[in-house]
Amino acid sequence: MADQKLPVVALIGRPNVGKSTLFNRITRSRKAIVDPTPGVTRDRQYERVVWEDKGFLLVDTGGIDDNPEDVLVQHIREQAMAAIAEADIILFLMDGREGVTPADHEVVDILRRTKKPVFHIINKIDGPKNEVSMNPFYELGVERFWALSAEHTYGFRTLMDDLCATIETPSEATSLPENTVKVAFFGRPNVGKSSMVNLILGEERMVVSEVSGTTRDSVDTVISHGNYNYLFIDTAGIRRKGKTKEKLEKFSILKALSAMSRCDVAVVILDAEEGITEQDTKVIGYVLDEGKALIVLVNKWDLLEKDKKRQKEVMEEIGRVLPYLGFVPIISVSALTGYGIKRMFPIIGSVYRQYCSLFPTSALNRLLQEAVEKHSPPIYKNKRLKFYYTSQVGTCPPKFVVMTNSYKGVHFSYERYLVNRFREGLGLDMIPIQIFFKDKSEQRERQKNK
């Protein structure tokens, strides 16, 4: 899939119209809970989807309803309204068996005022003979409806083809220069993301405001520095759940995830006064799940300039919260005074070079042999684990496969040992790496059956 922003596609509609079933169908999963009880989906579920080379982030929302007896109605309604406001494409589901409701009229009126692509879908239409039940819906004044059975797949292919046709493929004119390092900036509102980017760029490219949420979507800027071009992506602030009524993050997390999918290096900015928060760790978790290189900036360091004790406490706290991320560069900076900013480009360059590294197989096998000789593999089912050879199977981040006599016997502690030895032996001290274990016997069996 070509490098591009992942559009956000939101599933909205009244409770129990089949949104979660359609979510599971599109994502080929069962992540959304499917239950006949209205209102089961209380918070947004989201998943990255690739359909015939078109990628998007799909979000399942709680239902829109006006039942005054349900104390959760307003909460669920707010989520769906956030989805309408923030999504790029909207899938509005209605119930073909129940027919048109006042809530459907209300939502159609709201959607009519948006300039975004909207798919009006009549669900629970199990075949051509049932399409007659769609006729009452034309009173909504909608030009086109999509007949669908999310449960039995009728109309599903047509819907997906038409949905993907609305997702633009990036043109050649928007392609980036060679040697472009894509760097995305993440963090909670008011940690100083836009100010930091402005300082690095040396000009006011981003809107800087004291009001949380100024950056509603990612903003891209391409600059040249030394031998590299850089694409800086400034993202919307990822809000803390304590600041909202919702159990999950606000919808801005989806916009941030969209930017994350495009970057090589993710820069997560913390607030030195507040220290590292639960929400910061979630963002860092997303970065690592995506396999991106990571740099942590502790901004507003000038506020702790005269408090050496607090400076030490902040750094120790970060180390305690992120015990397995000793390889991640952590830089104390100040977007206000410029302190620490000169280290940014050298560190980004070092991280990126490691992130793209390739190594000869002979050097990798020597490293594996030395690691095994220094620390013997564990016993599994009365047999000593054996590691035969290794090779690199990918970059960004570097990925290695190790052939063994039983991948199931590799304990996570020994895997971590090998990861640390590879990182140390290959000079990959600033990035995550991935090691996969495969059984040699299974490979022989596959070759025999070819």
Mean predicted confidence (pLDDT) in 168-188? 73
Helices (H), 208-264: 252-260
Angle at the Cα of 330 from the Cα atoms of 419 and 305, rounded to 5 degrees: 155
Separation CA 53–CA 33 (nearest Å): 27
Residue 187 confidence (pLDDT): 85
pLDDT in tens, 50-91: 888 788 888 877 655 555 555 445 555 565 676 677 788 999
> Strand pairing of 146-147 and 118-123?
parallel
User: What domains sit in the chain, N to C, each tagged with a CATH number?
Assistant: 8-165 (3.40.50.300), 176-355 (3.40.50.300), 361-449 (3.30.300.20)
| pLDDT surpasses 80 at 237 | no
Q: What is the mean pLDDT of residues 342-358?
A: 94
- Residue 188 phi/psi, 5-degree rounding, is -75, 160
Task: Return the pLDDT at 366.
Answer: 96
Question: Regarding predicted confidence, which is higher, 192 or 390?
Answer: 390
Q: What is the pLDDT of residues 114-170, one digit of tens each?
A: 888 999 999 999 999 889 989 999 999 998 999 999 999 999 999 999 999 998 765
Quick one: which of 8, 9, 6, 168 has its CA closest to 93? 9
Strand order in the sheet with 434-439: 387-394, 399-404, 434-439
Q: pLDDT tens-digit profile of 386-414?
A: 999 999 999 999 999 999 998 888 888 99
Distance of alpha carbon 59 from alpha carbon 116, whole angstroms: 16
Q: Is the sign of the CA dihedral 123, 24, 186, 192 positive or negative?
A: positive
For 436, the 3-state DSSP assignment is strand
Report field, pTM of the whole predicted structure over 0.75: no
For 24, the enclosing helix (H) or strand (E) is helix 19-27
Q: What is the C-alpha to C-alpha distance for residues 411 and 423, in angstroms, rounded to an integer?
A: 18
Helix axis angle for 412-426 and 361-374, nearest 10°, is 130
Contact by Cβ (8 Å): 122, 134 = yes
Contacts with 144 (C-beta within 8 Å, 6 or more apart), sequence order: 120
Sheet bearing 45-51, strands edge to edge:
45-51, 54-60, 8-13, 89-95, 118-123, 146-147
pLDDT at residue 94, rounded to an integer:
92
Is the bond preceding 117 in cis, omega lying within 30 degrees of 0?
A: no
**For 43-51, which contacts have Cβ atoms below 8 Å and span 24 or more sequence positions?**
43/79, 43/246, 43/247, 43/248, 44/79, 44/83, 44/248, 44/251, 45/20, 46/253, 46/254, 46/257, 47/23, 48/6, 48/257, 48/261, 49/9, 50/1, 51/26, 51/160, 51/163, 51/164
CA dist 318 → 48, 326, 428 (Å): 29, 10, 21
